[in-house]
């Protein structure tokens, strides 16, 4: 994974290179990016934020304009430091069947609330949980030997209202979901290895918002729109 924001113009067509640059500039500034994964994968566009930049207004933006689950993706190394399991591995129930059609497995880990929240579901509560997950990810990334599961448990409780996702061990080389795409952008701008992702749904059909509609929305709102394939070419 590349740590800089210089995009190889020979590897990525100019239009894709421009979209990647705009996306990384926004992410570096703490602003959202609309990321479409792949038509042959989930075929979804997510609104993606760096976790450390999320406030109440950002949570409201995602629940109103996206409508999917608001999740925080953390890198595999941070997941290890937190002691977080994959949720399917932690549950002992006959309903567990982690074999989605779009991938080898889901990236869901524990849903958590920060311990200073009340119910955990309000915009204020979720913003606090998300920002503190970003802070914890930064601490674990900086000194993984000095942040462990007990430290995580001192800050967060499960179950909660913010789903934590674990990134693939090899990043975009191992998996190309929104989890890894968000984490790749975070790494590219030297942000904490924690990214917030929320699927955009169509109010009329209830299905995933069509890419053309998501791109039009992004254009109206002045939010960068980028294809997952362009991010993979630039950052993997």
CA dist list (Å): 44 to 52, 207, 208, 212: 24, 9, 6, 11
- Of 189, 188, 184, 214, nearest to 199 by C-alpha is 214
What is the distance of C-alpha 120 from the center of its chain? 19
Which residues share a beta bridge with 156?
A: 114
Q: Which two tokens stand for residue 53?
A: 């930049």
CB-CB contact of 179 with 226 (8 Å): no
Q: What is 92-146 written as a DSSP string?
A: -STT-----TTSSS--EEEEEEETT-SSS-SHHHHHHHHHHHHHHHHHHHH-GGG
My answer on whether omega of the bond before 159 falls inside 30° of 0, hence cis, is: yes
Q: Which residues are catalytic?
A: 46, 71, 102, 113, 161, 199
Q: How many CB atoms lie within 10 A of CB 220?
A: 8
Cβ-proximal residues to 157 (8 Å cutoff; 6+ apart), any chain: 112, 113, 115
């Amino acid at each position: 994974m590349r740590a800089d924001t210089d995009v190889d113009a020979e590897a990525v067509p100019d239009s894709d290179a421009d979209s990647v640059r705009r996306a990384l500039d926004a992410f570096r500034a703490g602003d959202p990016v609309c990321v479409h994964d792949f038509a042959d994968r989930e075929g979804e566009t997510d609104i993606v934020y760096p976790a450390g930049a999320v406030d109440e207004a950002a949570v409201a933006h995602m629940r109103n304009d996206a409508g999917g689950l608001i999740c925080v993706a953390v890198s595999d190394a941070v997941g290890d430091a937190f002691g977080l399991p994959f949720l399917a591995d932690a549950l002992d129930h006959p309903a567990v069947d982690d074999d989605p059609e779009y991938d080898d497995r889901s990236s869901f880990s524990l849903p958590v609330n920060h311990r200073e929240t009340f119910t955990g579901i309000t915009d204020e509560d979720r913003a606090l949980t998300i920002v503190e997950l970003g802070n914890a990810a930064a601490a674990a990334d900086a000194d993984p030997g000095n942040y462990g599961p007990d430290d995580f448990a001192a800050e967060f409780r499960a179950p909660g209202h913010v789903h934590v996702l674990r990134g693939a061990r090899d990043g975009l080389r191992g998996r190309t979901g929104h989890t890894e795409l968000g984490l790749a952008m975070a790494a590219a701008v030297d942000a904490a290895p924690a990214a917030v992702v929320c699927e955009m749904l169509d109010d009329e059909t209830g299905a995933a918002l069509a890419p053309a509609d998501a791109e039009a929305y992004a254009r109206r709102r002045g939010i960068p729109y980028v294809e997952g394939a362009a991010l993979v070419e630039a950052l993997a």
